[in-house]
Chains A and B, each alone.
Chain A
Amino acid sequence: MSEMKKTFGQVTALEELAGLNSPFHRIQASAKIIVTVIYLVMVISWKQGEVSGLLPYILYPVIVTALAELPIRLLFRRLVVALPFTVLAGLSNLFLSREIVFSIGSIGITEGMMSFCSLLIKSLLTVMAVLLLIATTRMDDLSYALLRFHIPSIFVMQFMMMYRYLFVLMEEASVMYHAYILRAPREKGIKLKDMGPFIGQLVIRSIDRAERVYHAMKCRGFSGNITLSDNNRMSKMDWLYLLLVGGLFLFMRLINLSEWIGRMYFKILS
């Protein structure tokens, strides 16, 4: 429970970050979403065991973090949460493919090590990309961007409402939980036999709340639509950002930048 509280604290912190004002925050949400998706696809599409080609993609999170002045520690904390499962899945690669690809000095580098490394880098980069999108984009802008992509308004509206009510219901659940734990000391959680009434109670409270919310919305003239304001247009700068940065990601996918730099390095030496 307290674990979740911590998580929620971090999520709220992310939301506060999104309200900051930096060159990167000012880019239109749609542009940022498309660039993020391009980035993800390019990173994912590198073949298994590729490390050098992936490394240049680190530039993006580093530059964005610096430009948007995001607290590195918070981002790292969120990053660590996402890693365990991927690491577990990657461990099997370590043990299963033991063919030595090449060796540095006397240390043999196996195929498994390479694919494990590339998996690790991939998961760091992909999680980071999504984190950066959230940390620099306000929830409302995100929702408007979804509407711009012609995602049905039913979906977007309930997505927005869900996000708003997350914290309200969390509070509700946590009050109930504390009341229970106070009456049942030395328990790690709710007993299985009490789970039905407990969650059921939460269901009833939630549905009642939804009813009240609906009536309040109706009183204020809600008819099932949201209106888009005009300042959600992509400007020339947004297009420029989209084309340049998206193009750069594509370029880095076609050319292995690391190898190219390495070659230049040897050329200069010789």
Chain B
Amino acid sequence: MNDMHMSDALVSVAVGGSMTAVSTGAIGYSIRKLRITDTEDKKIPMMGVMGAFIFAGQMINFTIPVVGSSGHIGGGILLAALLGPYPALITLASVLLVQCLFFADGGLLALGCNIFNMGVIPCLLVYPLIYKPILKRKISSRRITTASILAVVAGLQLGAFAVVLETVLSGISEIPFREFILFMQPIHLAIGIVEGIITSAVLIFVYHLRQDMLELDFGVTSKDSISRNKVIIIFLLASLLIGGGLSLYASTKPDGLEWSIEKVTEQTELVSKGEIHAATEKVQEATSIMPDYSFSSEEMSDSPIGTSLSGIIGGLITLIMAVSIGIVIMMYKRVRRSRTMTEG
């Protein structure tokens, strides 16, 4: 249901790298805050078990009345409400890490994007801006409901928007920006409302049964930390906006970028007609393109058709080689094992 996991194949190195930097910064900041605030050694098992809880909770399917389809919760705001924003972000980050490693859910290079979309946005943006202010003055069932529905919806809207931006900026998939937005936002609005209702029901249940469990640290935080939070929030929002503007600009004017790259590669082609280019800095650029090698000795690879033909043939040969190497290794292992069996 709430599946916003981005995979490696859809992310460019530049987007993945920069989002990893942003998320790492946010996690580092949260860890620092955690160390300052309270007994961190008590928080560790709590965060670990609650992370596992999110997994178990995501496993439980519920039925949506009328529609009849089933879904499961995502849990960003729920965790923030139960543990507080900083432990929640750290926990969510490791939930996402486990999902990426063991469940092939989202990629390792896209982990930064995923932590940002599903962790940083709900915990560090939406929680302090929407959830906390509503409950600050008075806590009641109605307020909890309002706060969690608004927060979950806002979190998913922002998250979905971030997914669209990251995908479009990466430029791997050619889904047009407008259609993608029109598809993602309404779907996540519906998901957000349902998940918000569930989140509020869970929080009210826990609140009535065991008030001591909810992270009700409102008003405890010092003024200084709030102002710093504001700075961070403004910074994050600004980066989102700038990123959005840039991506729009890039999607309307791709030619300029390509043209300049072509210019650069043309020059390098003139300089070096060999096979090995000083391309280490090119690897760092997600958009880097190895210029077609044109071997003047062969007239056939001068044309693009020649290049792609040798690419196809060579690729086939490579595939066959790879598979046969694998088979040979396996055979060898099998023979050796049977030999040790008979000797032993």
Contact = CB atoms under 8 A, between A and B. Distances in A.
A48 B170 CA distance: 10
Contacts of B209: 200, 204
Given A134-B102, A204-B210, A206-B52, A190 B60 contact: yes
Contacts of A55: 314-315, 318-319
B252 interface: no
A248 to B, nearest CB: 13
A126 B172 contact: no
Contacts of B200: 196
Nearest to B51: A162
B173 interface: yes
Contacts of A189: 60-63, 70
Contacts of A127: 7-8, 104, 107
B343 interface: no
A256 to B, nearest CB: 7
B298 A165 contact: no
B172 to A, nearest CB: 6
A37 B108 contact: yes
Contacts of B65: 191-192
Given A155-B94, A192-B198, A122 B9 contact: yes
A262 B56 contact: no
B283 A158 contact: no
A258 B309 CA distance: 10
Contact of A161 (B45, B103, B175, B301): B45
A20 interface: no
B251 interface: no
Contact of A266 (B16, B300, B326): B300
A195 interface: yes
A130 interface: yes
A202 interface: yes
Q: Interface size for chain A: under 10, 10 to 19, 20 to 34, or 35 or more residues?
A: 35 or more
B93 to A, nearest CB: 7
Q: Count chain A CB atoms within 10 A of each CB in B13, B68, B172 and give the residue with the most.
A: B172
Interface in A192-223: 192, 194-204, 206-207, 209-211, 213-214, 217, 222-223
A253 interface: yes
Contact of A262 (B55, B68, B105, B317): B317
Contact of A123 (B8, B298, B308, B321): B8
Contacts of A185: none
B293 interface: yes
Interface in A34-68: 36-37, 40-45, 47-48, 51-53, 55-56, 58-59, 62-63, 65-67
Contact of B308 (A102, A152, A159): A102
A48 B213 CA distance: 50
B103 A81 contact: yes
Contacts, number: 364
Contacts of B56: 166, 169-170, 172-173, 202, 206
B19 interface: no
Contact of B171 (A48, A96, A174): A48
Contacts of A96: 174, 176
Nearest to A177: B60
B202 interface: yes
Interface in B59-97: 59-65, 68, 70, 73, 82, 90-91, 93-95, 97
Contact of B213 (A37, A203, A214): A203
Contact of B333 (A66, A190, A199): A66
A258 B279 CA distance: 18
B44 interface: yes
A30 interface: no
Q: Count chain B CB atoms within 10 A of each CB in A58, A256, A259 and give the residue with the most.
A: A259
Nearest to A92: B175
Given A90-B173, A170-B59, A123 B319 contact: no
Interface stretch (B118-126, B224-232, B234-242, B284-292): B284-292
A232 interface: no
A188 B70 contact: yes
A4 interface: yes
B264 interface: no
Q: Which 6 A-B pairs have the closest CB atoms?
A: A196-B201, A161-B48, A262-B314, A262-B310, A52-B311, A200-B205
12 contacts: A4-B59, A11-B103, A92-B174, A154-B40, A155-B93, A157-B44, A188-B68, A196-B198, A200-B206, A203-B213, A206-B53, A214-B42
Given A162-B52, A162-B91, A261-B317, 20 more contacts: A44-B286, A45-B288, A53-B290, A63-B329, A81-B103, A102-B304, A158-B47, A166-B55, A172-B56, A190-B62, A190-B63, A200-B202, A202-B56, A202-B57, A203-B82, A203-B213, A207-B210, A222-B41, A257-B314, A265-B313
Interface of B: 3, 5, 7-13, 16, 27-28, 31, 34-35, 40-53, 55-57, 59-65, 68, 70, 73, 82, 90-91, 93-95, 97-98, 100-105, 107-109, 167, 171-176, 194, 197-198, 200-206, 209-210, 213, 275-277, 279, 283, 286-290, 293, 295, 298, 300-301, 304-305, 307-315, 317-319, 321-323, 325-327, 329-330, 333
